Structure 1
C-alpha cells in the first residue's frame, strides 16, 4: 500500500496499527512496541542498562525501573552465577613468574643496561 517504497514514518506506522487494530479488535499502539522492546533489551545480559537508557532517550537511568522486574528465578540464577565467577577468580592460578610479560630488549633500552 506504500508505493514507492520508503521508510515508514511515525504517522504511517500509527495508521497501519489503527487498521490492524480494527481488523483484530485490539488496541495496540506504537508505544506498546517501545515498552516491549525495552523489556527485551533489559533482559539481554549483554546490553548494559545505560545503553538502553540512551537508546530510549531517557534522562535518568532510574526511569527504566518500571521495566526492570526480574523474576525470583532470575535473581537466584544471577546471584549463583556471580558467586561462581568469584570462585573461579579465587582458584585461577596467577601467570607464571618464569615467563616475563615484558620484552627484555625494550627494558634494556629504557634503563640503558643489559637485563638478560
Structure 2
C-alpha cells in the first residue's frame, strides 16, 4: 500500500521505532524521539543494503520517491547508492579548507 500525505501527517512516535512501507523498497521509519526518516531498502549482489534519504517533512513524499528512483537506477547499474553517498561525504570533507571553515563563520578555532 502506498503512503499518502495524510497518512504521513498522522504518524506518531511510540516507545520503539517502527516502519511504514510505501512502495518498491521505500519506507519511513518513525523513531521514539519523534524523528521521521525516509529510507530505501535494496539488494545488490545478493546482499541487503539500505540508504537513508532524508527526514520528513523536509523531504516530501514526492521527492523521497524521486530519490528512491535515482537510487534504484544506480542499483540497476550494479552500483551501491549507500557506498556512493559515503564516498561523496568523505570527498566533501577532504575538499574543505581552513579558509572555507573560517568564511562559514564557525568559531571552533577561536
The structure whose Rg is larger is 1
* Larger strand percent: 2
* Larger helix percent: 1
If asked which structure has higher relative contact order (CA below 8 Å, sep 6+), I would say 2
